[in-house]
Each structure stands twice: as structure tokens, then as C-alpha cells.
């Protein structure tokens, strides 16, 4: 096995180790299970039509009750909650549950309580086993979804902490909001089994939507920001005691070229930036739907702005970089530095190792000479490196078939994080 084949084998091994987030698996499974062919009812009577119309009028007109519930404080969760959630817990917001189930390995699972509003459901739980909870139990043990009347709520994030003795885990798990019509909810649990297949169980518990916290602001936005490869359309803002969620759609050709593509969008309230908590994108008929979740808004709100500070951009370059001779200084591509740190050849390939800023992804790369060109075969050994000055650079090796003796490197364009500095003012009255 030559040097190139070894590197390709190592890259394949690295990709094999990459696993999808647990919540992604659950969402994909749901999409597959619900893809049944639809049958059209040809005898839809006027009576049924009137009933459906009335039902949807109820849906549109109903929201969570205007008065939040003041209950008991959930104890023992100080290490897994802070900031907004800690404040709400200190005020006794939420509802106590106290339902339990015994798992296969003898661990007791308890739903301690809930906090719910129009943006999310936050579940507080405890895993307890006096004989010790298996290492990584909080990873293998999954709370997959919550179901109920008009409810199919999937997990979005979670955090947990184990005690020093290894016998108890306290955790919170965030789910999609549940229906205000639900009176009973069921959580679906997945746990590993000895045969490695895993088993599913469930635990039902009563739910009182009257104890949900009220929505503070629900504001339409309907503003569009154009970017290099498409547009972002901001549709609405929903502010509740636990979070502030911006929803919209986007159609951006190169959106998936860089991770955390929505985290350059800031929410500014009273001149201060609100902490971003997470974001997500899912496919839709026209572009993609997205949400960005921020922390809650201040109680006294005087101004509110969306600031599109940074987002994925694209710059056409058609740059020719001469190679084969020593070049001490970096090459400059649209203000970004590119270092060629090594060039080597084997009997089959040409390897060019480069270093750029962490956000730079080259597009349309090839090597060539005066007679012919060869396009990039693949990129291997991509690593992030922190320099002595704190700057993060991305190093990787470009592989080309040795079809030509290269004299230059051609770069058609690059994707990168671009500053847009677009401001959208959101009415607060």
C-alpha cells in the first residue's frame, strides 16, 4: 500500500467513525415512517367539512393560557441549569410530575417536572441506581420523543450531570412544544440491551396546559436579506419566558459548505446582544425552513433588531498560483491568506498541502501546465490548528491524479464567512 492509499484508508476510517446526532436519527426515522401514500376521500360530506372548519378555527384561536403557573421549585438540578432556566426554577415556574419507571438494568427513571411554553418543552429527569449507573449510560439511554393528542414532539438538545458516586444522573432535555389540547403525554425511551439491539419503552403522565407559561411577544417580521448565493427570509419572532425563536426560510446554494451557518445572525434587544442557544434547518418545498433560538428577552423591552453580521459568502477568483518554486509569503485570495506548506509527488499522485483561515473552502481547484489541466481528486487530513497568536487555521492536503507535470494551481472561487452588516428593526409595541 503506497502513501496515498494509506491516506485514503485513514480518511475512510475517520469518516466511518462519524456518527449522526441522536435527534437526527429519530427525525429521519419519523420521516420514513410517515411517508405513506395518501388516499383521497371522494365522499367528503358538508357535515364533515363544517366539523373540520370548526376544529381549525379552534386551533387558530387557541393559545396557551395567559397566566403562568407558580408551583414548587425543582430540587437538585443546580448543576445542569443556569441563567434563564435557573431564574424560572427559583420562581417555581412549571409543573411537578414525579412519575417513575424501572429500566431493564434496574435503573429507576423519574420525570421530576416540566416547563412548557409556545417555544419548547423542557423535561427534568433523574436516573438512579444504587449499584451504579453504567459508564456512558447518559449517552446510550435516549429520550426519543413525546407524543400525545396533536403532539409529536422531538428532542432538540439536552444536558446532564452524574454525581461523584456514579449512582445518580440529573438532566434536562429540550423538546419541540406540545399541543395546548393535550391532557396526557407519553415519553418514548430507548435503552441498550445485552444483545446490542436496544429496546423501547414508554411512560405516560398527565399534562395540564393551563400550567404552560404565556407567550410574551409573537411578532411577524417578513423581511428578506439577499446574500451571495441566495436569500434569507425572516418570517416571525416568538418570545416566551424560556426562549426567543426566530423562524423563516432560506434558499442559499452554498449554505451547507460551512458549519453553524446561522450563528452569524444576532438578536439585539435594548442595544445588547441576546445569547444564541441553537439553530436548525430542515428541507421544505421552497428552499429550507430554519429557526434560531436565543435566550429570553429583557422584561422592559425598548428596541429589538436582527443583525445579519456574518453569513456564508462566495467570491469568484479565477486565480492562477505558480507552484514549484519557493514562496515565503502567503498568497492573497480576496484578502484571505493561502499558504502552500508542502508539494510532493508519487508515482500516481501530486499532493499539495495548504493552510488557510478556518472559514475558507476553495471551489473549482485544479493543477496544470501550458498544455493541460487536472481537477482535484479529493482532500484529506483536514485539521484545525491554533497558532501561537490564537488564530485558527485549517490545514489539508489536496490530491490530484498525476496526469500532468504541474506548474500552477488554479482556483475558480471560494466560499467563506462574509460580513453583510444588514439590520432589520422589529417593532416592539
Q: What is the pLDDT of residues 304-345, one digit of tens each?
A: 999 999 999 999 999 999 886 666 788 999 899 999 988 888
* pLDDT at residue number 2: 53
* pLDDT at residue number 87: 81
* pLDDT at residue number 345: 86
* pLDDT at residue number 22: 47
C-beta of residue 205 within 8 angstroms of C-beta of residue 170 = no
Residue 60 reports pLDDT greater than 90: no
C-beta of residue 122 within 8 angstroms of C-beta of residue 77 = no
Neighbours of 261 (CB within 10 A): 21
120 or 85: which carries more pLDDT confidence?
120
Q: Enter the C-alpha cell of residue 403.
A: 496526469
- Going along the chain from its start, the domains and CATH numbers come out as 83-211 (2.60.40.1630), 217-312+420-425 (2.60.40), 314-416 (no CATH)
What pLDDT digit, counting tens, does each position of 380-393 carry?
999 999 888 888 89
| End-to-end Cα spacing for the chain | 69
Residues 87-113: what's their mean pLDDT? Answer: 88
CA dihedral 171, 177, 181, 186 (to 10 degrees): -40
What pLDDT digit, counting tens, does each position of 211-248 carry?
888 888 899 999 999 999 999 999 999 999 999 999 99
Q: Report percent pLDDT > 70 for the chain.
A: 79
What pLDDT digit, counting tens, does each position of 245-273 carry?
999 999 999 998 877 789 999 999 999 99
* pLDDT at residue number 73: 66
Q: Enter the C-alpha cell of residue 39.
A: 388516499
* pLDDT at residue number 156: 86
* pLDDT at residue number 135: 57
This prediction's pTM: 0.74
Q: Which band of pLDDT confidence, cut at 50, 70 and 90, is reported for residue 59?
A: very low
Residue 373 reports pLDDT greater than 50: yes
Amino acid at each position: 500500500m503506497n502513501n496515498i492509499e494509506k491516506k485514503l484508508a485513514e480518511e475512510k476510517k475517520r469518516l466511518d467513525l462519524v456518527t449522526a446526532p441522536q435527534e437526527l436519527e429519530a427525525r429521519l426515522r419519523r420521516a420514513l415512517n410517515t411517508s405513506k401514500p395518501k388516499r383521497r376521500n371522494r365522499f367528503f360530506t358538508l357535515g364533515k367539512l363544517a366539523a373540520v372548519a370548526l376544529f381549525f378555527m379552534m386551533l387558530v384561536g387557541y393559545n396557551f393560557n395567559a397566566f403562568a403557573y407558580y408551583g414548587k421549585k425543582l430540587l437538585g438540578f443546580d448543576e445542569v441549569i443556569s441563567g434563564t432556566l435557573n431564574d424560572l426554577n427559583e420562581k417555581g415556574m412549571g409543573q411537578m410530575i414525579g412519575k417513575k419507571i424501572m429500566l431493564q438494568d434496574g435503573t429507576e427513571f423519574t420525570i421530576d417536572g416540566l416547563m412548557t411554553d409556545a417555544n419548547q418543552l423542557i423535561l427534568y429527569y433523574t436516573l438512579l441506581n444504587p449499584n451504579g449507573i453504567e459508564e456512558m449510560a447518559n449517552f446510550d439511554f435516549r429520550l426519543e420523543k413525546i407524543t400525545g393528542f396533536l403532539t409529536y414532539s422531538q428532542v432538540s438538545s439536552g444536558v446532564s450531570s452524574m454525581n461523584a458516586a456514579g449512582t445518580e444522573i440529573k438532566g434536562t432535555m429540550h423538546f419541540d412544544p406540545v399541543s395546548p389540547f393535550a391532557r396526557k403525554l407519553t415519553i418514548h425511551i430507548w435503552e441498550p440491551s445485552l444483545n446490542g439491539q436496544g429496546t423501547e419503552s414508554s411512560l405516560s403522565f398527565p399534562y395540564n396546559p393551563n400550567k404552560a407559561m404565556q407567550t410574551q411577544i409573537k411578532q411577524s417580521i417578513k423581511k428578506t436579506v439577499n446574500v451571495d448565493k441566495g436569500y434569507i427570509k425572516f418570517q416571525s419572532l416568538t418570545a416566551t419566558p424560556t426562549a426567543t425563536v426566530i423562524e423563516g426560510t432560506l434558499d442559499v446554494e452554498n449554505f451547507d459548505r460551512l458549519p453553524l451557518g446561522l450563528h452569524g445572525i444576532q438578536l439585539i434587544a435594548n442595544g445588547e446582544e441576546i445569547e444564541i442557544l441553537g439553530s436548525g434547518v430542515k428541507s421544505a418545498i421552497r428552499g429550507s425552513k430554519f429557526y434560531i433560538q436565543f435566550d429570553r428577552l429583557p422584561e422592559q423591552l425598548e428596541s429589538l433588531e436582527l443583525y445579519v453580521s456574518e453569513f456564508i459568502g462566495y467570491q469568484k477568483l479565477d486565480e492562477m498560483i505558480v507552484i514549484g518554486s519557493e514562496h515565503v509569503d502567503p498568497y492573497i485570495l480576496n484578502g484571505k491568506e493561502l499558504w502552500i506548506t508542502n508539494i510532493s509527488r508519487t508515482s500516481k499522485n501530486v499532493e499539495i498541502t495548504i493552510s488557510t483561515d478556518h472559514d475558507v473552502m476553495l471551489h473549482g481547484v485544479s493543477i496544470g501546465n501550458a498544455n493541460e489541466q487536472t481537477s482535484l481528486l479529493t482532500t484529506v487530513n483536514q485539521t484545525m490548528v491554533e497558532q501561537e497568536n490564537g488564530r485558527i487555521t485549517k490545514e489539508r492536503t489536496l490530491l490530484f491524479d498525476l496526469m500532468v507535470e504541474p506548474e500552477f494551481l488554479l482556483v475558480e472561487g471560494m466560499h467563506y464567512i462574509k460580513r453583510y452588516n444588514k439590520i432589520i428593526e422589529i417593532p416592539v409595541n
